[in-house]
């Protein structure tokens, strides 16, 4: 019974976090452009940094698509 309660609590917390506004969604266009410029200036990126750069690029593409 305790395992079920813990599982349900974890699922509820995950759902709340997943439905919240993401970090890049709340940034302005100029902030995103600045981040993209910074990403482009670094030739060798760590895996974590490269992942962040991909998310910035995805957000920019999403906004361009919404604009059209």
Is residue 8 one of the residues assigned to a domain?
no
Is residue 1 one of the residues assigned to a domain?
no
The H or E element that residue 35 is part of is helix 29-41
The total number of structural domains that make up the chain: 1
Range of the domain at 40: 21-67
3-state helix, strand, coil in the chain (%, to 5): 75, 0, 25
- Taking only the tens place, the pLDDT of each residue in 13-54 is 776 666 655 777 888 999 999 999 999 998 888 888 888 899
Helix axes 29-41, 47-67, angle to 10 degrees: 140
Is residue 61 one of the residues assigned to a domain?
yes
Residue where the block lists tokens 């395992």: 3
Is residue 11 one of the residues assigned to a domain?
no
pLDDT of residue 35: 92
Is residue 58 one of the residues assigned to a domain?
yes
User: Which structure tokens are listed for 33?
Assistant: 């452009």
Nearest residue to 52 (alpha-carbon basis) of 26, 66, 32: 32
Which of the 8 DSSP states describes residue 68?
-
């Amino acid at each position: 019974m305790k395992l079920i309660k813990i599982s349900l609590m974890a699922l509820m917390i995950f759902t709340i976090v997943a439905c919240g506004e993401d970090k890049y969604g709340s940034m302005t266009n100029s902030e995103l452009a600045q981040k993209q410029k910074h990403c482009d200036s670094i030739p060798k990126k760590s895996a974590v940094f490269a992942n962040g750069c991909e998310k910035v690029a995805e957000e920019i593409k999403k906004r361009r698509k919404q604009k059209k």
